[in-house]
Amino acid sequence: MTYGTTMNRSPSSSGLLPLPGAPGSSWAIYKARFRAIFQGADASVLIAFWLFGVINNVCYVIILSAAVDLVGPSVPKGLVLLADVLPSFLTKLVAPYFIHAIPYSVRIIIMCALSTGGMFLIALTPSVTTDGGSIGLKLFGVGIASLSSGMGELSMLGLTHYYGHFSLAAWGSGTGGAGLIGAGLYVFLTDTLKLSIKNSLLTSAYLPFIMPLAFFLILPQEPLRQAHNKKGYSDLPQISIEDEDVREPPDDVAAEALLAPGPPSQAAEAYTSHSPRPSSPTLREPIKPTFATNLRRARRLFFPYMLPLLLVYIAEYTINQGISPTLLFPLKSTPFTAYRQFYPMYAFLYQLGVFISRSSISFLIIPQLYLPSLLQIANLALLTLHSLFFFLPSVYLIFLVIFWEGLLGGLVYVNTFAKIMKEVREEDREFSLGATSVSDSGGICVASLIGMVIEGRLCEWNVRRGRPWCGNLES
């Protein structure tokens, strides 16, 4: 089984679906190309990485879903978001420079222990709202679970290097599905099964055990065994930034790389064979990289990959945490019976958009990342202006924009890492995948701080102008 079979080929040969109305867009061709897309995919790899994506993110979503229950209605929800993402951000910021020394099997055990321990601590400490429990202790448990999530994302993205493009597609779909599953599970446990908050969180605390089961029992281990003698990232040649392989190659070279069959290393060779080479020998033993070497690698990732991902996350989480709680309408003009129902619907539509777009990498590859990032910033501007001046006539238009927001965010996320797998040479790829993951957590951290400031001010602005609905969220 070839785990690295690339799917990023031209539409005429790869199975990328043609646009509706384009020549050759008949249903028979759609079916044939759909089958071709998944030709050579290993079901075990797809299942394992989909489970990795779901489980790594589901506790994060459950914690955010339980934010009001954890800290009470008087504490800004951005505080829970910050505790849920700041440790993850710090982990992603520093861990890529040393985590390659820790085997993936050990990382999986550590992540499971941290995530489970954090959830148990959150569940077993006394309630803040009814038993006078400590908010600090609850947030400490949130932080422990966040450490696991950050370590999991950079590790699993690095692991896709050994299993190819299908694994990245499955991971992206799993992370998108985690939003729907996590939010839905918490509602199911608390509202449908009528479990207490404590018992709902205790039940969720067992979910992280699925990750080691998927790693040791489902995921094929042969690619990791083959890479066992290549521990550490190989050294980075001393060449100028103009010669880096992150620049765009000629079109025929890119096509050659994307059409190259076999594992990613072969495609990478087709891609990088036209890049300037250092004078050192082509074949060299992998050596342990220095911190300065890895820092140079990270610096060269910033503009092509990190920045667009950072921008899209700042914009969308500012919308989610700071703007959307104020996007309210008179109840008689909406499908809702209470103002507290707006935000869960916005969250659902956002997560649905994220799930769809993160699952789309097998079918839709965007040529560059900055356009959807700028469109996300436009969404932020539009919804901020509406919160201030109330000019959109219907909540259904807000529904559409929020869904579009989720589509854009998921699209940038999964395409960022797909482009790294295509464009970064093999010896740098594992590090690059992990290091770039710091951008999403960094964006959420920035957005949580912005959200804590602007949510209250936007609400006050609306109340002063005769739109007091944001003050009635308990009804």
pLDDT digits over 421-445, tens only? Answer: 999 999 899 999 999 999 999 999 9
Among positive and negative, which fits the CA dihedral 462, 464, 467, 468?
positive
Residue pair 404/349 in contact by the 8 Å Cβ criterion:
no
Domains in the chain, CATH or no CATH each: 39-222 (1.20.1250.20), 290-475 (1.20.1250)
In the Cβ-directed half-sphere of 473, how many Cα atoms lie within 13 Å?
Answer: 16
Per residue in 203-258, pLDDT (tens digit) is 999 999 999 999 999 999 999 988 766 655 444 444 444 444 444 455 444 444 44
Region for 206 from its dihedrals, namely left if φ exceeds 0, alpha if ψ lies in -120 to 50, beta otherwise:
alpha
- pLDDT of 70 reads 81
Per residue in 123-160, pLDDT (tens digit) is 998 887 777 778 889 999 999 999 999 999 999 999 99
405-413 mean pLDDT: 97
- pLDDT of 43 reads 94
Specify the pTM. Answer: 0.80
Residue 11 has pLDDT above 70, yes or no: no
102-126 mean pLDDT: 95
Residue pair 100/123 in contact by the 8 Å Cβ criterion:
no
Residue 116 has pLDDT above 90, yes or no: yes
Per residue in 14-45, pLDDT (tens digit) is 445 555 555 555 667 666 665 666 677 899 99
Distance CA 81, CA 405 (A): 19
Among positive and negative, which fits the CA dihedral 304, 294, 7, 251?
positive
Which of the residue ranges 12-26, 260-274, 350-364, 371-385 has the most confident prediction, judged by mean pLDDT? 371-385
Per residue in 263-315, pLDDT (tens digit) is 444 444 444 444 444 444 444 455 567 778 888 899 999 999 999 999 999 99
- pLDDT of 275 reads 45
- Residue 186: name the closest of 208, 202, 210, 209 by CA: 202
103-119 mean pLDDT: 97
CA dihedral 181, 446, 168, 93 (to 10 degrees): -120
Residue 187 has pLDDT above 60, yes or no: yes
Residue pair 254/271 in contact by the 8 Å Cβ criterion:
yes
- Token pair belonging to 424: 């970064």
Name the residue with tokens 């010669």.
Answer: 243
Per residue in 57-94, pLDDT (tens digit) is 999 999 988 876 787 766 777 788 889 999 999 999 99
